[in-house]
């Protein structure tokens, strides 16, 4: 009977040691998971704000050029075309400038169709994309239309600066600029490439200055991959803590058994 009781007590102690040793391991895994999720969510939220700020600045530069060109609208094309070309040449982001008078395009620094430019102006929208206006690689060009008194300027630009701003975020986060009907991301747009996945920890923020919003997130499965990496990195340390905790409990239990045996020996017989 004593043998069975001793075996049962030993088994109970073993289970207790394992349970106590695993507590810091599981606790550490929970903390890692929480910290990892908080880090990804916070990074997405902060990155969205930073992206909106950077893109707004890039669009500000285009708008400044368009506004400075507005006084030329209405003047004869022969007298202003050289100035339009000079404006475009001095700014790498710009592709062309066109002036509008009484709702119609009549002069451009490039050879764009005046009918197409007039159509863009007729929308009255500040930012537009037209599938008929693409660069040499087939990417969409962005048109900014600045209006004055019966006059206006269309500044057509390469979205390369916008892509550069998005490409600055190199931590696995995907960012997409969403305009009315078109989107732009770091290596493509609505007509070219596959839109990146933003399925996890998705955050979005609209600009208060221009008609677009930034959507940011991580691809599906990214969080699990990052968690596995963090766990594999920290698991040896957690196991060591668990082993040390179990060892301490083992020593404590050993001392308790020793005191119990001494008490039994010292107890006077009947």
Whether residue 58 contacts residue 161, with contact meaning beta carbons closer than 8 Å, is answered with yes
pLDDT given at position 7 = 47
User: Can you count the helices (H) and strands (E) in the chain?
Assistant: 5, 10
Query: What is the side-by-side order of every strand in the sheet holding 140-147?
Result: 104-108, 94-101, 151-157, 140-147, 127-134
Q: Do 141 and 133 touch, CB atoms closer than 8 A?
A: yes
Show the tokens assigned to 212: 């677009």
Report yes or no on 11 lying in a domain. Answer: no
> How far, CA to CA in Å, does 171 sit from each of 110, 166, 188, 214, 226?
39, 11, 19, 17, 11
* Whole-number Å distance between alpha carbons of 83 and 127: 23
Whether 80 is covered by a domain: the verdict is yes
Number of domains in the chain: 1
Is residue 132 assigned to a domain?
yes
Residue 135 lies in a domain: yes
Q: Is residue 98 part of a domain?
A: yes
**End-to-end alpha carbon distance in the chain:** 22
Low-confidence ranges of the chain (pLDDT < 70): 1-25, 230-231, 234-235, 237-270
Give me the domain span that covers residue 91: 70-159
| pTM confidence score | 0.77
Domain membership flag for residue 129: yes
CB-based contact 179:123 (threshold 8 Å): no
d(CA 121, CA 103): 7
Q: Could you give the CA distance from residue 17 to residue 14 in angstroms, rounded to a whole number?
A: 5
In a domain, 117, yes or no: yes
> Residue 86's domain is classified under what CATH number?
3.30.450.20
List, for residues 13-49, the tens digit of each pLDDT value: 556 556 666 666 677 777 778 888 888 999 999 999 9
Is 61 among the domain residues? Answer: no
CB neighbours of residue 169 within 10 Å: 19
């Amino acid at each position: 009977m004593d043998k069975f009781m001793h075996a049962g007590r030993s088994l109970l102690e073993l289970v207790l040691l394992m349970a106590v040793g695993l507590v810091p391991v599981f606790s550490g895994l929970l903390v890692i998971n929480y910290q990892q999720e908080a880090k990804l969510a916070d990074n997405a939220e902060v990155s969205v704000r930073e992206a909106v700020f950077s893109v707004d600045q890039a669009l500000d530069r285009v708008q400044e050029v368009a506004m400075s060109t507005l006084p030329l609208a209405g003047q004869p094309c022969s007298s202003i075309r050289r100035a339009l070309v000079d404006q475009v040449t001095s700014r790498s982001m710009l592709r062309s400038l066109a002036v509008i008078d009484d709702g119609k395009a009549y002069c451009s620094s490039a050879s764009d169709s005046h009918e197409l430019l007039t159509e863009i102006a007729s929308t009255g929208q500040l930012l537009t994309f037209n599938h008929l206006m693409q660069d040499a690689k087939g990417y969409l060009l962005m048109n900014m239309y600045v209006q004055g008194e019966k006059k206006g300027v269309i500044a057509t630009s390469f979205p390369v600066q916008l892509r550069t701003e998005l490409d600055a975020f190199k931590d696995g986060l995907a960012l997409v600029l969403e305009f009315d009907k078109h989107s732009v991301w770091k290596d493509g747009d609505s007509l070219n490439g596959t839109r990146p996945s933003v399925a996890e920890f998705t955050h979005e923020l609209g600009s208060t200055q221009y008609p677009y919003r930034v959507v940011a997130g991580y691809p599906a499965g990214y969080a699990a991959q990052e968690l596995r990496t963090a766990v594999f990195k920290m698991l040896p340390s957690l196991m060591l803590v668990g082993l040390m905790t179990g060892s301490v409990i083992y020593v404590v239990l050993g001392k308790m058994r020793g005191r119990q045996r001494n008490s039994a020996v010292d107890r006077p017989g009947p």
